């Protein structure tokens, strides 16, 4: 009889609590409470609790039933997928080996069934293992030793930080950073993603609530895409600039635990608790699965920088390396004694760092084929690691709220300092001078030379409920004083639909679109409103007051909305093309000018912008412009206004019907080609019919022109 464990699957409930391999030394029964509390709070990442049995018995004692009941009460509030659970049965050496194997199976089943009966509403799957007499804790030469060996080990591991109460997943584990260290993509317990500008310390946007919690995220090397892995096994692709969902990929049967892009941004790699790793070709939507049959549930992955190798780590400490060209396994080894938490390649791909939940840290020299252990197993786990851009330093975060930096070449510990809370993601900025760390609800930045804390940002965002208004209702934003008008949603024909004038190709085809209701700024943003949040007035005509701010780029407008979002319980953004044209057309009416005065001026002076009544003085106060039927002004004149959309010279061929927002094509997302953003509304550089509601203009997002400004939209 061999010591190979048997793995009968108890399909008790739907999968979410996954198996953890490799039991650790068992604590005393009196430590159950303290150990479980330490696990939930994040002080420890893995614990093992022992249940003991009488000779030749698989019946739980009253004391053990009481202890398991208390344990179940602690586990029940936890969100599905946050805790990994393994149950393994053992015996002493009395009796035949085959009989003991069956007895250990009955003991494991007894504990599994009792726990499940206590949590009938929880979505858990318990997989039991049984080893018979092959894994004694103590010698069977004494009665005391035999009693210690008659046991079931319950191994619990936090797959992610659970937060102080253990009821919700933490923000930190699903946080990712852009390659230049300037952006952070964070998640919250409701499944929303938020993009943060680290230099400004503000949120650019928050996505809608996802139907499944976000468990992992990544930002593409060119900074144009984001990806998220979810509890339900889906992988989702996002436009990073706007937070718009591009598509959802299906291919995993269980929680996606880690995700990363290839260096060219054309491939996405994901690892799952269902034991599988997937390679997603983002340019043609194909998916490829690696042959990981027989593997334990995966816990981490990383790709090297030359695109040739993918490293996979599992909950048992096994590391496998894969050839990405052939999708075949190159090597596999038992590297750590417990779960692999994080991995990273150095920038030159020479070193692969592997960190464990038990505190082990191993550095693999891929050129020399050697491994060096920097840290041995301890009571505290490593939660994150990152190489500096030059590969000379390795930063590690620990579950006991410590940050340690190592010299890669010598393995010497260079720096150590405490952190406020446990850090779950680390990333250096492009020049290596700053180290970014994401915790449960905070972002921290350290000067990596002096190792001093530079900035700390609270990641919490208001859990805002939609607040639509009444048609024509005005709401004033308190910080800037910008008045917003509620625009009722509806459907209309967008694009060139007039037979009396020629249509530009990019204004076609005329098509029906529908927009939800939104709050739109009554006027273009003024120079005074701009300076409530920004340090200087960029306008060529810096007249102040309620003259429109101009000479601002699309990125400048994004920075302004980001800063405003940081001060408000609401969220602001640029309007989409569809929203702008809908508002310009008085709520989607078949008109190209919002009021008779603007229309008459356009007919009289179709090509002389200096004399168009609504812009004849070039720079007019926004209060001097006439309102349209919705109470909005300047939508046909004054300054061109930035929108969220990427410009498509082919017109509206690729635009969706409901709340359309064009976010670019493959050339933009994967080839890093220059892109233009759409401007709407006409400006004093154009006149007459060029100020019609259907007219489109475009420019590079970094362009600052004296005839370009913007207005804001507030999410309901």
pLDDT digits (tens, 9 = 90+) for 565-575: 999 999 999 99
User: Cβ(422)–Cβ(381) under 8 Å?
Assistant: no
Q: What is the pLDDT of residue 615?
A: 43
Q: Which residues contact 103 (CB under 8 A, 6 or more apart)?
A: 56, 58, 89, 91, 95, 132
Inform me whether the pLDDT recorded for 29 exceeds 90. Answer: no
User: Cβ(262)–Cβ(270) under 8 Å?
Assistant: no
What are the residue ranges of helices labelled H in 263-416? none
Residue 667 CB neighbours (<10 A): 11
Measured CA distances, 359 to 120, 352, 400 (Å): 35, 16, 10
Q: What is the pLDDT of residue 604?
A: 55
Inform me whether the pLDDT recorded for 11 exceeds 80. Answer: no
User: Cβ(360)–Cβ(351) under 8 Å?
Assistant: no
Inform me whether the pLDDT recorded for 625 exceeds 50. Answer: yes
Confidence grade of residue 616 (pLDDT, cut at 50, 70, 90): very low
**Buried-exposed string 348-360: b where 16+ CB fall within 10 A, e elsewhere:** ebebbbbbbbbbb
Q: Which residues contact 50 (CB under 8 A, 6 or more apart)?
A: 26, 27, 29, 151, 152, 153, 154
Inform me whether the pLDDT recorded for 423 exceeds 70. Answer: yes
Closest CA to 17 of 106, 78, 107: 78
Q: Which residues contact 318 (CB under 8 A, 6 or more apart)?
A: 295, 296, 332, 333, 334, 335, 340
Q: Across residues 414-422, what is the average pLDDT? A: 92
Confidence grade of residue 7 (pLDDT, cut at 50, 70, 90): very low
**Buried-exposed string 7-20: b where 16+ CB fall within 10 A, e elsewhere:** eeebebbebbbbbb
Residue 444 CB neighbours (<10 A): 20
**CA 81/CA 314 separation, integer angstroms:** 16
Q: What is the pLDDT of residue 44?
A: 62
What are the residue ranges of helices labelled H in 324-394? none
Read off the pLDDT of residues 643-702 as tens digits, 9 standing for 90 and up: 999 999 889 988 999 999 999 887 778 766 678 999 999 887 665 667 789 999 999 999
* pLDDT above 90: percentage of residues in the chain: 58
Bridge-partner residues for 287, per DSSP? 280
Inform me whether the pLDDT recorded for 162 exceeds 60. Answer: no
Q: What is the pLDDT of residue 156?
A: 76
pTM: 0.80
In 137-210, where do the E strands start and end?
151-158, 176-177, 183-187, 193-197, 202-206
* pLDDT above 70: percentage of residues in the chain: 84
Inform me whether the pLDDT recorded for 166 exceeds 70. Answer: no
Q: Across residues 73-98, what is the average pLDDT? A: 76
Confidence grade of residue 470 (pLDDT, cut at 50, 70, 90): very high
Closest CA to 440 of 157, 43, 35, 36: 43
- List the structure tokens of 407: 């010299």
Half-sphere exposure of 166 (CA within 13 A, CB side): 20
> Which one is predicted more confidently, 611 or 513?
513
Residue 637 CB neighbours (<10 A): 29
**CA 100/CA 111 separation, integer angstroms:** 17
Q: Which residues contact 636 (CB under 8 A, 6 or more apart)?
A: 584, 593, 594, 598, 602, 614, 681, 682, 691, 692, 693
- Most confident range (mean pLDDT) of 10-24, 36-50, 245-259, 679-693 is 245-259
**Averaged pLDDT score across all residues of the chain:** 85
Inform me whether the pLDDT recorded for 19 exceeds 60. Answer: no
Confidence grade of residue 2 (pLDDT, cut at 50, 70, 90): very low
CATH 3.90.1580.10 in the chain is located at 474-714
User: Cβ(582)–Cβ(515) under 8 Å?
Assistant: yes
Q: What is the pLDDT of residue 255?
A: 83
Residue 333 CB neighbours (<10 A): 12
**CA 534/CA 369 separation, integer angstroms:** 54
Q: Walk across the sheet containing 235-239 and list its strands.
A: 214-219, 225-230, 235-239, 245-249
**CA 8/CA 14 separation, integer angstroms:** 16
Q: Across residues 533-561, what is the average pLDDT? A: 95
Half-sphere exposure of 317 (CA within 13 A, CB side): 18
* Superfamily of domain covering 172-302+335-458: YVTN repeat-like/Quinoprotein amine dehydrogenase (2.130.10.10)
Read off the pLDDT of residues 426-440 as tens digits, 9 standing for 90 and up: 999 999 999 999 987
CATH 2.130.10.10 in the chain is located at 172-302+335-458
User: Cβ(85)–Cβ(20) under 8 Å?
Assistant: yes
Q: What is the pLDDT of residue 13?
A: 26
Find the helix or strand (DSSP H, E) in which 109 lies.
helix 97-118
Sign (positive or negative) of CA dihedral 695, 699, 702, 705: negative
Inform me whether the pLDDT recorded for 6 exceeds 50. Answer: no
- List the structure tokens of 621: 């106060």
**Buried-exposed string 550-562: b where 16+ CB fall within 10 A, e elsewhere:** bbbbbbbbbbbbb
**CA 677/CA 400 separation, integer angstroms:** 46
Q: What is the pLDDT of residue 155?
A: 79
Q: What is the pLDDT of residue 157?
A: 66
Measured CA distances, 199 to 182, 206, 409, 563, 687 (Å): 7, 18, 32, 11, 39
Closest CA to 586 of 475, 487, 501, 689: 487
Inform me whether the pLDDT recorded for 37 exceeds 80. Answer: no
Q: What is the pLDDT of residue 210?
A: 78
CATH no., domain 474-714: 3.90.1580.10
Question: Is 527 buried (19+), middle (13-18) or exposed (0-12) by CB count in 10 A?
Answer: buried
What are the residue ranges of helices labelled H in 119-212? 143-149
Q: What is the pLDDT of residue 324?
A: 95
Q: What is the pLDDT of residue 417?
A: 94
Q: What is the pLDDT of residue 618?
A: 63
Read off the pLDDT of residues 438-457 as tens digits, 9 standing for 90 and up: 987 889 999 998 889 999 98
Phi then psi for 339, rounded to 5 degrees?
-60, 135
Q: Which residues contact 671 (CB under 8 A, 6 or more apart)?
A: none
Confidence grade of residue 599 (pLDDT, cut at 50, 70, 90): low
Bridge-partner residues for 312, per DSSP? 301, 320
Inform me whether the pLDDT recorded for 606 exceeds 70. Answer: no
Number of H helices, E strands in the chain: 9, 44
Q: What is the pLDDT of residue 327?
A: 95
Q: What is the pLDDT of residue 161?
A: 42
Closest CA to 709 of 635, 614, 628: 635
Q: Across residues 235-263, what is the average pLDDT? A: 92
Count, residues in the chain: 716
User: Cβ(171)–Cβ(188) under 8 Å?
Assistant: yes
Tracing tokens 């913007």 back to the chain, one arrives at: 710
Q: Across residues 174-184, what is the average pLDDT? A: 90
Q: What is the pLDDT of residue 12?
A: 26
Give the right CATH number for 9-158 from 3.40.50.2300, 3.30.1330.60, 3.20.20.140, 3.50.50.60. Answer: 3.30.1330.60
Question: Is 3 buried (19+), middle (13-18) or exposed (0-12) by CB count in 10 A?
Answer: exposed
**CA 700/CA 647 separation, integer angstroms:** 10
Q: What is the pLDDT of residue 43?
A: 56
Q: Across residues 282-303, what is the average pLDDT? A: 87
CATH 3.30.1330.60 in the chain is located at 9-158
What are the residue ranges of helices labelled H in 520-605? 527-530, 554-567, 577-584, 596-604
**CA 46/CA 379 separation, integer angstroms:** 9
Read off the pLDDT of residues 310-338 as tens digits, 9 standing for 90 and up: 999 988 889 999 999 999 999 999 999 88
Euclidean distance between the first and final Cα of the chain, in Å?
A: 67
């Amino acid at each position: 009889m061999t010591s190979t464990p048997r793995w009968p699957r108890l399909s008790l409930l739907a999968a979410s609590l996954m198996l953890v391999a490799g039991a650790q030394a068992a604590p005393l029964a009196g430590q159950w409470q303290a150990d479980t509390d330490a696990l939930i709070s994040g002080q420890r990442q893995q614990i093992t609790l022992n249940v003991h049995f009488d000779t030749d018995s698989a019946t739980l004692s009253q004391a053990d039933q009481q202890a398991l009941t208390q344990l179940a009460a602690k586990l029940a509030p936890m969100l599905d997928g946050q805790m990994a659970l393994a149950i393994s049965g053992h015996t002493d050496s009395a009796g035949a080996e085959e009989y003991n194997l069956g007895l250990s199976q009955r003991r494991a089943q007894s504990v599994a069934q009792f726990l499940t009966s206590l949590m009938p509403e929880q979505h858990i799957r318990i997989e039991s293992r049984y080893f018979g007499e092959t894994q004694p804790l103590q010698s069977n030469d004494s009665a005391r030793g035999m009693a210690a060996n008659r046991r079931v080990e319950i191994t619990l591991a936090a797959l992610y930080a659970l937060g102080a109460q253990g009821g919700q997943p933490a923000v930190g584990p699903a946080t990712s950073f852009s390659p230049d260290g300037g952006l952070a993509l964070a998640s919250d317990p409701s499944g929303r993603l938020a993009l943060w500008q680290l230099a400004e310390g503000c949120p650019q946007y928050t996505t809608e609530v996802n139907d499944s919690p976000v468990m992992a995220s990544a930002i593409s090397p060119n900074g144009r895409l984001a990806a998220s892995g979810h509890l339900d096994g889906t992988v989702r692709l996002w436009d990073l600039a706007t937070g718009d969902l591009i598509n959802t990929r299906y291919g995993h049967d269980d929680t996606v635990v880690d995700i990363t892009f290839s260096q060219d941004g054309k491939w996405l790699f994901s690892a799952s608790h269902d034991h599988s790793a997937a390679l997603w070709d983002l340019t043609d939507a194909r998916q490829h699965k690696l042959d990981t049959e027989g593997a334990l549930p995966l816990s981490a992955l990383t790709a090297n920088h030359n695109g040739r190798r993918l490293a996979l780590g599992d909950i048992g400490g096994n590391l496998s390396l894969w050839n990405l060209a052939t999708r075949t396994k190159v090597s596999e080894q038992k590297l750590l004694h417990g779960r692999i938490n994080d991995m990273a390649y150095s920038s030159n791909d020479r070193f692969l760092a592997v960190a464990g939940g038990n505190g082990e840290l191993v550095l693999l020299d891929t050129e020399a084929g050697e491994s060096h252990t920097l840290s041995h197993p301890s009571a505290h786990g490593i939660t994150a690691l990152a190489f500096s851009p030059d590969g000379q330093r390795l930063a590690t975060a620990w579950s006991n709220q410590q940050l340690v930096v190592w010299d890669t070449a010598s393995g010497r510990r260079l720096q150590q300092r405490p952190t406020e809370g446990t850090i779950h993601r680390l990333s250096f900025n492009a020049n290596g001078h700053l180290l970014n760390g994401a915790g449960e609800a905070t972002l921290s930045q350290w000067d990596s030379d002096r190792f001093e804390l530079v900035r700390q940002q609270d990641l919490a965002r208001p859990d805002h409920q939609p607040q639509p208004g009444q048609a024509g209702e005005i709401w004033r934003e308190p910080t800037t004083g910008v008045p917003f008008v509620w625009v009722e949603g509806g459907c209309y024909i967008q694009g060139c639909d007039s037979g009396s004038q020629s249509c530009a190709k990019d204004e076609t085809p005329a098509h029906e679109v529908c927009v939800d209701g939104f709050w739109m700024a009554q006027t273009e943003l003024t120079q005074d409103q701009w300076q409530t949040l920004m340090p200087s007035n960029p306008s060529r005509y810096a007249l102040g007051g309620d003259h429109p701010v101009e000479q601002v780029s699309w990125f400048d407008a994004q920075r302004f909305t980001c800063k405003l979002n940081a001060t408000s319980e609401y969220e602001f953004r640029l309007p989409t093309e569809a929203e702008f044209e809908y508002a310009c057309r008085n709520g989607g009416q078949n008109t190209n000018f919002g009021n008779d005065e603007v229309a008459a001026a356009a007919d009289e002076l179709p090509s002389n912008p200096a004399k168009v009544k609504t812009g004849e003085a070039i720079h007019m106060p926004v209060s001097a412009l006439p309102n349209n039927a919705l109470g909005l002004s300047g939508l046909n004149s004054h300054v061109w206004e930035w929108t969220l959309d990427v410009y498509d010279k082919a017109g509206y061929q690729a635009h969706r019907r409901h709340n359309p927002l064009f976010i670019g094509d493959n050339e933009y997302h994967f080839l890093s080609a220059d892109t233009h953003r759409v401007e709407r509304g006409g400006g004093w550089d154009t006149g007459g019919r060029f100020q019609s509601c259907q007219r489109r203009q475009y420019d590079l997002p970094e362009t600052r022109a004296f005839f370009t400004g913007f207005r804001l939209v507030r999410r309901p």
